Chain A
């Protein structure tokens, strides 16, 4: 009887992953999901390329990487947020605020760097507001970002009066057309941001703190980690990245509207999850997130070229998400995946 009770006590204590071990590894523990997703997408690409001659054309890839880059930048921010154990429902609304701010700046004929700075600062401020409520006041992230989503979309609509801004200077629209060796600049910007994010995650103290907090907040606090400051940083960074995405969207669409970033919030969450990051936080991988974003956009583009009706496309990408997470779980031998 003694052995069984101590054994059950042991398992009880061992059930939550030991956060020290986990963060010291700083990578996904046995996460095969990006591999699963990559394989699925590769098979799909081969099939799509076979059925539709246009899939492997330069033009197609040049066109698909642009929205991919935009969603990717938001997904990187979302990756940090989810890694810290939270979620950000207001990402789309922040993009809208940033876009509208850029529109107002352009309306006042400010120079291009000023327009970009305005949009980035707007995103930063929105993210910082979230950060204060979630980091300092320690409110629940899903609730705060639900409220701030409604608030920010209202602000964006009020600022734009429901209209769309046009007449952006060439210097800003340059972001859309510029390309290096045929690869659109937006995509290269995304890759650069991803590299920087990976460096932050792996090699900086802050990245270490983020993963620790996501893994076990109580233990992190008792270990003396600056929880409030770190979380504030996470959400502010998310805001900044949303601001960046706003600028890219404005450049691509040559216009700014309050509802611009609407679908990107769900896309970002789905991408991070598709890449295999646990939604409860504690681990993150930039490559996995990039794989997730790429998978969604490539599959959508392929389905479009395969003449699949738009609603079935929607259903199929949802199935891709569910199937990948299920398979990833099974491979990981998931013990406690809840949130």
Chain B
């Protein structure tokens, strides 16, 4: 008897679910809701971007909402965005885990009349209105390779520890790094590209293993904010601090101790807070039906470059952090 009641109840719920999908009630419209979605929540780099965006958004009179997947998983990110569509935000800004996987849901958003911005990591160009990029991929990749090559004197074996192997923006930077090395520093040799997956422990273990596997390794590039501090730690523990060059992308806070104790000479990045601010500013511009112009000065960000055909905005050039200037930055 109990079983039958149980099944009836459960079947009723299913029926309700079915009916709910077919019932009509328009979603509430929010004219000033600015939604920002990072690749994943819970790492300092994106926290800085969030802080910058939230300040700028409130300054511009927008209601700011920040959420995202708990892991850098494209399907999770798509689920989060799909859930957000029901709130019909005024602007959606996404840093994409995967350029291809995010495209369908972003296209859907645009079909529903929601303007879509990508920032930090792009999706397919026809699925977004504008891409707010921090630096040109090519500029960044070539610059990081230059930093490493300068320390190595243009020759020697090096390895790269990247973040997730499927991250489109990381792969784009990798491409330009390798290209720069092949074109300008032919005597350098790339021995391995391994994945740290935004986890310092994994990057640490990989770096240690690489040090063992390639005894004449002379340099590392850490291609995602978790990797360089882990690589520096591995090198320190192996007693090779100062003998092996480290270049790459990470935040000043994560690298501070290694730069101050000279294990690392230079680390490159940009200001994610500025990037967040720029994203919010562009979002507000879209809502006011303004178009970003090349060379325009955005308060708190500086002069930006705009490429109307590719619908891409570039914030600036890479920023190097060294012993001299790291004291000025706290993110």
Contact = CB atoms under 8 A, between A and B. Distances in A.
A310 B3 contact: no
Given A34-B9, A252-B104, A163 B166 contact: yes
A321 interface: no
Interface in B64-94: 65, 67-71, 73-76, 78-80, 82-88
A181 B74 contact: no
A330 interface: no
Nearest to B104: A254
Contact of B13 (A42, A58, A191, A263): A42
Interface in B95-117: 98, 100-104, 112
B101 A35 contact: no
Given A35-B5, A287-B7, A291-B13, A57 B26 contact: yes
Interface residues of A, number: 67
B70 A311 contact: yes
B23 interface: yes
A216 to B, nearest CB: 21
A184 B165 CA distance: 32
- Output the residue of B11, B24, B84, B104 with the most chain A CB within 10 A: B104
Contacts of B102: 253
B213 interface: no
A38 B8 CA distance: 11
B69 A38 contact: no
A300 B70 CA distance: 13
A122 interface: no
A287 B74 CA distance: 30
Contact of B83 (A32, A191, A305): A305
B185 to A, nearest CB: 25
B86 A54 contact: yes
Interface in A222-257: 249, 252-255, 257
- Output the residue of A27, A59, A252, A288 with the most chain B CB within 10 A: A59
Given A252-B104, A291-B13, A58 B23 contact: yes
B28 A260 contact: no
B85 A61 contact: no
B82 A254 contact: no
B166 A162 contact: yes
Nearest to A57: B27
A63 B83 contact: yes
Given A35-B5, A263-B76, A311-B42, A255 B101 contact: yes
A260 B27 contact: no
A59 B105 CA distance: 13
Interface in A1-29: 27-28
Main secondary structure of the interface of B (DSSP, over half): helix
Interface residues of B, number: 55
A17 to B, nearest CB: 16
A60 B65 CA distance: 18
Contacts of A53: 27-28
A287 to B, nearest CB: 5
Contact of B65 (A52, A162, A307): A307
Contacts of A255: 74, 98, 100-101, 103
A301 B83 contact: yes
Interface stretch (A64-72, A113-121, A141-149): A64-72
A64 B83 contact: yes
Nearest to B42: A311
A75 to B, nearest CB: 14
A63 B86 CA distance: 8
A185 to B, nearest CB: 12
Interface string B22-64: 1111111000000000000110000000000000000000000
A48 to B, nearest CB: 11
A183 interface: yes
A41 interface: yes
A218 interface: no
Given A53-B28, A260-B75, A60 B9 contact: no
A302 to B, nearest CB: 9
A90 interface: no
A32 B2 contact: yes
Given A30-B3, A38-B13, A67-B82, A263 B100 contact: no
A116 B193 CA distance: 33
A294 B100 contact: no
A60 B7 CA distance: 26
B21 interface: yes
A165 B78 CA distance: 17
Contacts of B100: 164-166, 253-255
A54 B87 contact: yes
- Output the residue of A41, A176, A181, A260 with the most chain B CB within 10 A: A260
Given A58-B22, A291-B13, A305-B83, 6 more contacts: A27-B3, A162-B166, A164-B98, A183-B18, A252-B104, A253-B78
Interface of A: 27-28, 30-32, 34-35, 38, 41-42, 52-67, 157, 162-166, 173, 176, 181-184, 187, 191, 249, 252-255, 257-260, 262-263, 285, 287-288, 290-291, 294, 298, 300-301, 304-305, 307, 309-311, 314
7 contacts: A28-B6, A60-B83, A253-B75, A255-B100, A263-B75, A290-B10, A294-B17
9 closest residue pairs by CB, A with B:
A255-B100, A60-B86, A162-B165, A166-B100, A253-B101, A53-B28, A57-B27, A304-B83, A63-B82
